[in-house]
Structure 1
Amino acid sequence: MDRWRRTHGALQRAALELFAEQGYDATTVTQIARRAGVSEMSLFRHFATKDALVLDDPFDPLIGEAVVARPADEAPMRAVVEAVRETLAGRSEEVVPVLRQRLRIVAEAQSLDGALERNSAATAAVIADSLVSRGVERDAARVVAAAVIAGLSAALLEWAGRGDRRLDQALNEALDVLGGASACSGSTT
């Protein structure tokens, strides 16, 4: 692992530790940098803002590539749902502890109200751009991207708060609903 990645990881670990110990709002970037053994300037080279330490998402480019790689005749919503499913397949359990911790921090910190949604705008833009590159009209691409992001955000926050389900189960159920599967399993209506 190169120096940049080691420092990046050390900063995120230090931030999450401090946020868990004293709360997001009570933790300063100076404390995070000090715990990680770097200067504040180094911290800001890696993360433009304090909230980026919690919200940084490495999956956006991977999801975009997976959307572009889906079959050309696939409906936009199905392409995105399956691209997200492919991107996250087999990775969910390796990120579970950190993701749950991050989502709880976001849910508990008053200063992060709306941060998940703002951060998700970048993911939505990647998805929309990938759909446009497949020939989907920009307006339709934005609607699909927004729907998927909203659905996944709701599922992730619910998962983080409950703690009684596996991440892959929560994500797959949300993706099934987004992809058009019934939201009421076992219904006899």
Structure 2
Amino acid sequence: METLTTRAAKDLRTRLAIQEAAIALCLDQGFAATSTRAIADRAGVSERTLFRTFGTKAAIFWYDAFLSRVVRALAPDPDPVAALVEAVRTAISTITPEQWALELGRRAVIIGEPDLIATGTQELNTGATQIAAILTPPLASPARAFDLLLFARFAVAGFGVVPVHADTTPGEWGAELEKVVHKAAHGALERS
């Protein structure tokens, strides 16, 4: 498991400040009516920092702090399903009420903006690629590496579609995410 360096912690704080500002403004004004200048001002950063951090306004909503915590908690293991379930449990156990509110807000903005849904593929692919890289043994065959990448992509895509409502608790969400990991490994239509 990786720990955050001082620089990484500062970068994470900047990301979260921008994301909090963007979510609040977009929930209040709508995505299209919210400017990057307004987001940067509310976050206390320059617009240049906003773009250096995220690249686009849409990318702000696709930075998934939870998925980043899963990646940081993930350790190589001969059993990739058990490893990913354990990483999900670890990430869920660290969610603060503020982070949970941010996750709910992020999802509310994405669901309310169909154009945002289409732009998320690259960000999700990055998370899945990181997961697969950790789970793939150094001497894995190309076929095994492919299977692990496919498993990671299925799991990450599944994480994104688990329903979350205002009354959903992180623990309930985590239990559903664990089911997704098993379905990603064994098939969505198989009995679990």
**TM-score, normalised relative to structure 1:** 0.76
Contact 2:84/2:181 (CA < 8 Å) preserved in 1?
Answer: no
| Corresponding residue for residue 118 of structure 2 | 114
The Cα of 1:154 is off from its aligned counterpart by: 1.4
8 Å Cα contact 2:59/2:120 also seen in 1? no
- Partners of 1:85 and 1:3 lie apart in 2 by 25
Q: Does 1:171 align with 2:178?
A: no
Secondary structure, counterpart of 2:65 in structure 1: coil
Count of residues in Structure 1 that have an aligned counterpart in Structure 2: 175
CA contact (8 A) 1:152 1:174 kept: yes
Aligned to 1:146: 153
Q: 1:82 aligns with which of 82, 86, 90?
A: 86
**Which of 34, 41, 62 is residue 27 of structure 1 equivalent to?**
34
Alignment-mate amino acid for residue 171 of structure 1: G
Give the Cα separation in 2 of the matches to 1:174 and 1:151.
8
User: Under a length normalisation based on structure 2, what TM-score does the superposition of the two structures give?
Assistant: 0.75
Query: Secondary structure of the equivalent of 1:133?
Result: coil
Mapping 1:33-72, distance limit 5 Å: 33-60=40-67, 62-70=69-77, 72=78
| Aligned equivalent of 1:131 | 135
Conserved 8 A contact 2:76-2:136: no
- Structure 2: tracts of 5 or more residues without a match: 1-5
Give, in whole Å, the separation in 2 of the partners of 1:31 and 1:153: 27
Aligned to 1:102: 106
1:27 deviates by: 1.0
Sequence identity of aligned pairs in percent? 29
Q: 1:134 to 1:89 in 2, by over 3 A?
A: farther
Deviation at 1:142, TM superposition (A): 1.3
CA distance in 2, matches of 1:4, 1:67: 20
CA shift for structure 1 position 7 = 4.5
- Cα distance in 2, alignment partners of residues 132 and 3 from structure 1: 30
Larger Cα Rg: Structure 1 or Structure 2? 1
Contact preservation (8 Å) 1:107, 1:113: yes
Output one character per residue of 1:47-94: Cα deviation in whole Å (capped at 9) or x when no partner: 211122222233455433543344x3x2x2232222222232232644
Cα root mean square deviation, aligned:
2.9
